[in-house]
Chain A
Amino acid sequence: MIKFKINDKEVEARTGWTVLETAKEYGIDIPTLCHHPAVAPTGSCRLCMVELKEGDWSKLVASCIYPVKEGINIYTETPKVHNVRRWILEMLLASCPASEEIRKLAEKHGVVSTRFPIHDPDQNCLICGLCQRVCEEVVGLSAIAVVDRGVHKKVGAPFLRPTDICVACGSCVTICPTGAMQEIFDTVRGKPELPLTQLA
């Protein structure tokens, strides 16, 4: 048993648990977006940030991928955590303004507007990569990828062409936290114009 504290409350965990899993076990709420029990956590959305105090220094860690350790002190509701959480939500509001889920989540944490420029008012995908991970880890295929890099980064089929690698099981649509996959899904499944081997 590993003993440590969350919000000054003694908790017990076993090796291999993460801070987030321990918190959920004890009913302590930490907001998440890209975390899903079906797939391994990757810590891409950073919404689950918590403050870790060890002795007289502290740091912020993503609780979904931070393994538990004897004697650490985790705080989920400090000003530091609130601050970073609000910044992340503001950024999410700017990057996917069309998402109802993100708007509600932000509202819950007191964020109603964003100071960042909105590039695409219709965007509702936060590119958390859950769809890609579920396809790879649960279904066992690679029909969805994160295509392009930087500001052009988006989710779609390889080469952004419909692919027959996709078996149309809909796991990606089910797992998507914002519902963005519903639209993308129809561009992934389907018959390719040319088999991949014939692409120049």
Chain B
Amino acid sequence: MNSNAKIGVFICKCGESIEPLIDLNGLKDSIKDHADYCDILSQPCLTPGLGHIMSAISKHNLNRIIVAGCDGRIMLKKFETALEPVDILKGQVDMVNLRSHVAAVSDTSPEQKAIKSAKLIKAAIAEMEALIPTEQERTQLEGPVAIVGNGIGAFPAAQKLIKAGVDCVLSLENTDPEEIIDNLHQSYPGEREHHGRVKQMVKDVLGHEKMTIIENSRLKELIGVTGDYTMVMEESDGTEKSLNASMIIAALDAQLFPPDPEFGYDGQKVLIQPEMEIQINKKGVPKGEVVFWVSDYEYGTPEFAGLSAKSAWLMAQQIKEASPSTQIIIFYNQMMALPLSAFERGVSRKLGISWVPYDKAVRPTVQDGYITFCHLKDHVEHEISWDFLVLSPKRALRGQAQTTAKILGLIHKQTPFLTGHHAKVRPEMIGREETYIVGSARYPCDLQETLNQGRKAGNKNVEMFEKSSQLQLFVPRNVCVVDPEKCVGCGQCQELCDCGGIGVAEYPGGGIPRMVDPMVCTGGGTCAAACPYNALVLQNNSTDQREARIAALSRQLEPGEVVSLACVWGGQPAADHAYRKKLTYDPGIHILGVPCVGQIDPSVMARAFLEGAPGLILIGCDPEECHHSYGIDHTWNRVNMIKKLFSLCGIDRRRIALAHADLNKPEEFVKTANSFTSLIRALGPIEKTQANHDKFKSIYHLCKYNSRIRTLLSVALRRPGEKIYRGDQKYALAFDKDFNQALEEEYDFPESALFEENIPGKGVLYA
């Protein structure tokens, strides 16, 4: 509880959208006793209106602002930016959407709408009172940038960093420039034209006096946060050495490897492109007939056909230049677009390299010395003879690169490469990009692209260092923090969120507190809701705030009215768009916006019922569409636990529900809202007896403080490795039975009497 909160409420007339539909004067009268200041403005969002808010802030010393007007999703940022100079930081401004959620969505009278508006505003006031705002934090970058992973992209990145005067540590398996260039064909076949240039760059970087090179050691463990990393490096003889770094760049290349034997691969006559390059340069230029088969379509990865065709084309030129008598055919699927420019086509004709497309319907068959295919012209099966058959390589993140990526926490959501970010959120919600990844492990690409990525990563790091030295590198305000006093080191949070931002505070060991990298956390908060000991808190957006808001709303609800928690990516925009489409729905639904339903702790759900709400519906995204880390899946488990508890004490399970909404399907949202409110209305109110109150109190305490149940709930949540929505259902019944039994054991009715009046948000903290 923050007694220093001085809250200002500004109600917007919003032209014709709010004023004639809601009795604003009546609304102001019912609010003014609950807030330190309340005013009605014609347009608080325009420059004159912002001026009025600012003068009210300085006159009444306000430090929390609530604007009751329209969509916070697009307007909140303007208020946050405008009010920052007067020390109202992000989190201290909130919006209540009167226009889209109250004014136009039903045909009740302006007075009734004013009552509904007052309920929502009072709930927002309660949340603001519970807010404990944090300082504006900064990250300091001191110490070198470490480049790990052995990819060729490390060198351009290092070059940029040295040039800007940033210290740089480069970990390499091999430090001989000749060998580095010699091995380049393993990841980037055919690109010999660049070798001279790249070799010069490698030499420059390795020979630079400011460069620190670590040879022959592998990354074993990573501890720490942005600005203060400790990397444990294991040398080839098994000794461990630790290394400090402020930032990390991962230079990782995908592995190219031969296909299954069914393509006739033998490594001698039928080989893949990197092997052909060895053949050309080491064993002697092949004579006779060479067929390059761009076989990526047959591997099921047509997206890489262009890349393979380019390598084939480069190698074909090299062969032709060294040995003009060699016959070369580049053999490709008709679906592939030729990767040649008009000029290159001319060169190809001049050199006598033929490009032969084949019918996609008939897969070419490899025989000894021949390959059979269906010709596009006549649909007759033709044959091409070969002395060497060169297949496309298969591409994957494998081996050492994969291990390094895993340690750095770069592997998300089962994508084969490293393009994906674990979250799909606004850029302002993330402090920085994830560890900069350069190389073909990010997504298969050619050498040029890798070098570009390297330069870009180098430059971005330089930018961050500049920001840091100007004290401008801010930490996002809505991120998770761990209370090391409460954390027991169970690791649930680390397993659940695939942000890679949660790690151990020390190494080696097990039962030690976790820590969160605030520059990587996106503030999804399902980790915080999953913590069995409430050790993880989402700062400026905590469970306590959420509880205070839902409690304040629930206390005011009439029978037949329901609380709805709608996420900012699904439910809330769906409701906003219902207004845009001029749809109407049951006014009994009271929408509270949350950044993600995944951050709703089960105790918040229980609190709604404890305070008298007859029904609660959580409206999140569609399955697999969570913008954070499986928030919707985790909510499913939490809602179901409350349902189980309801069954246990004889309350209708249907009073709590989870719904999915797509922001572009407002009609579906209207159906959701109507169906749930009419259900709750049909069920009637929950009788306000002492027995019922005790039941809800027990449920609430069980949800909030019972670490056994919270642990059991957390371990059942979907892990990033699980591919099915709602997690693994393999032992569904067995788990359910066990979980029910545990709930029964822990749901101890008479004991709840011990918790009298110890509910947070009412002034007395639970001891």
Contacts and interface: CB of A to CB of B under 8 A. Distances in A.
B32 interface: no
A168 B445 contact: no
Contact of A170 (B15, B425, B573, B625): B573
A21 B47 CA distance: 7
Contacts of A173: 573, 577, 580, 663-664
Interface string B611-625: 000000000000001
Interface in B14-51: 15, 42-43, 45-49, 51
Interface string A151-177: 000000000000000011111011110
Interface in B46-60: 46-49, 51
A186 B664 contact: yes
Contacts of B15: 24
A138 B443 CA distance: 30
Interface stretch (A12-20, A50-58, A73-81, A118-126): A12-20
A117 interface: no
B419 A174 contact: no
A13 to B, nearest CB: 7
A13 B73 contact: no
Nearest to A176: B580
A174 B664 contact: no
Contacts of A13: 48
B550 to A, nearest CB: 24
Q: Considering residues A13, A37, A185, A186, which has the most beta carbons from chain B within 10 angstroms of its beta carbon? A: A37
Contacts of A170: 73, 569, 573, 576-577, 663-664
Interface stretch (B74-82, B460-468, B732-740): B74-82
Contacts of A197: 443, 445, 449
Interface string B573-589: 10011001100000000
A138 B77 contact: yes
B194 interface: no
B46 A169 contact: no
Given A37-B43, A38-B77, A140-B428, A25 B303 contact: no
Nearest to A26: B42
A182 interface: yes
Interface string B686-705: 00000000000000000000
A38 B81 CA distance: 11
A116 B727 CA distance: 58
A185 B426 CA distance: 17
A167 B46 contact: no
A87 B303 CA distance: 51
A38 B75 contact: yes
Contacts of B73: 169-171, 174
A168 B663 contact: yes
A116 B568 CA distance: 42
A24 B74 contact: no
Given A167-B425, A194-B303, A197-B445, A38 B47 contact: no
Contact of A24 (B46, B337, B419, B569): B46
B627 interface: yes
Contacts of A186: 664
Nearest to B337: A200
A65 interface: no
Interface residues of A, number: 36
B42 A24 contact: yes
Q: Considering residues B15, B627, B663, which has the most beta carbons from chain A within 10 angstroms of its beta carbon? A: B663
Interface in B445-483: 445, 449
A169 B71 CA distance: 13
A158 to B, nearest CB: 17
Contacts of B74: 38, 134, 138, 171, 174-175
A37 B577 contact: no
Contacts of A200: 306, 337, 339
Contact of A168 (B45, B49, B569): B569
A27 B42 contact: yes
Contacts of A169: 73, 426, 568-569, 573
B339 A179 contact: no
B263 to A, nearest CB: 24
A109 B644 CA distance: 60
Nearest to B41: A25
Interface in B560-606: 568-569, 573, 576-577, 580-581
B427 interface: yes
B47 A16 contact: yes
Contact of B427 (A18, A141, A176, A185): A141
A141 B426 CA distance: 8
Nearest to B339: A200
Contacts of A134: 74
Contact of B45 (A14, A37, A176): A37
B48 A179 contact: no
A21 B48 contact: yes
A150 interface: no
Given A140-B428, A171-B73, A25 B43 contact: yes
A37 B14 CA distance: 11
Contact of B580 (A24, A168, A174, A194): A174
Given A24-B15, A140-B428, A167-B627, 5 more contacts: A14-B48, A24-B46, A169-B73, A173-B577, A173-B664
Interface of A: 13-14, 16-18, 21-22, 24-25, 27, 37-38, 134, 138-141, 167-171, 173-176, 179, 182, 185-186, 193-195, 197-198, 200
6 contacts: A14-B48, A24-B46, A25-B46, A37-B43, A171-B73, A198-B303
Interface of B: 15, 42-43, 45-49, 51, 71, 73-75, 77-78, 303, 306-307, 337, 339, 419, 424-428, 443, 445, 449, 568-569, 573, 576-577, 580-581, 625, 627, 663-664
Query: Considering the complex of A and B, which 7 residue pairs feature the smallest CB-CB distances, nearest first?
Result: A37-B45, A170-B573, A170-B663, A25-B48, A140-B427, A38-B74, A21-B46
